[in-house]
Chains A and B, each alone.
Chain A
């Protein structure tokens, strides 16, 4: 069975802390994505990666960075957490290739609260 796991379901951090969110997939997918989900805004893409050590900015990359050292693992980093980064963070992965019909598989999400 396809599986995307995220390191924490709930996380509470203080303003200014460095925060790491980890995502692991077991499907040998080359593409991995980080989204944030906010009420009324749907999902917005933060960063994605189409290969190890490769990364591309999504629609809202400011305040975030990512790391992809191994194919199965994609980390989202908040260098200095701020209260406006309080949100649900979702990781996803998809099959390699250029087809526009490939499904993305999502993890359960991490609800981050920054106080």
Chain B
């Protein structure tokens, strides 16, 4: 079945460092791809998405490009802040019984030190 694999965490960086969190997927068909973020004590919220190959999603300085040839959707940010500390989930969508369903990776905990 469809699956998502993220780089293992936790990841600890200093403020203003460059961030990459790797995400690869296995899927039949052409899923949409998502990055969700979970701040401490909160539920998940959508960070960015891409719906077809070569699309780039971006939000709050984060970017990810849908690469069909490498089945990847890596998350990047040029200069991280302490407020970016959170757990990040990569996900793909699939249709089941006519409803959109998400398949999540295991999550990557990111800590940014001042």
Q: Which residues from chain A sit less than 8 Å from chain B, CB to CB?
A: 4, 31, 33, 40-45, 48, 50, 56, 58, 90, 92, 94, 98-104, 106-109
- In the complex, which of the residues B32, B49, B101, B105 contacts A42, with contact meaning CB atoms closer than 8 Å? B105
User: Residue of B at shortest CB range from A96?
Assistant: B99
CB distance from B10 to the nearest CB of A (A): 11
Contacts of B41 in A (CB 8 A): 108
30 A-B interface contacts by CB (under 8 A): A31-B99, A33-B102, A40-B106, A41-B106, A42-B6, A42-B105, A42-B106, A42-B107, A43-B89, A43-B102, A44-B104, A45-B101, A50-B99, A56-B96, A92-B43, A98-B100, A100-B32, A100-B93, A100-B94, A101-B49, A102-B93, A102-B100, A103-B34, A103-B49, A104-B102, A106-B36, A106-B44, A106-B45, A108-B41, A108-B42
Closest CB pairs A-B (n = 9): A106-B43, A50-B99, A42-B104, A42-B106, A43-B104, A106-B44, A100-B32, A101-B51, A100-B93
Q: A40-B106, A100-B100 are in contact. Are A90 and B51 (CB under 8 A)?
A: no
Considering the complex, which residues of chain B in the window 64-98 have a beta carbon less than 8 Å from any beta carbon of chain A?
89, 93-98
Contacts of A104 in B (CB 8 A): 44, 46, 100, 102
CB distance from B86 to the nearest CB of A (A): 13
Instruction: Tell which of A102, A104, A109 has the most Cβ of chain B within 10 Å.
Output: A104
Q: A42-B104, A42-B107 are in contact. Are A56 and B97 (CB under 8 A)?
A: yes
Cα–Cα distance between A103 and B49 once the two chains are bound (Å): 9
Instruction: Tell which of A4, A31, A41, A106 has the most Cβ of chain B within 10 Å.
Output: A106
Contacts of B97 in A (CB 8 A): 50, 56
Cα–Cα distance between A43 and B89 once the two chains are bound (Å): 9
Cα–Cα distance between A58 and B97 once the two chains are bound (Å): 11
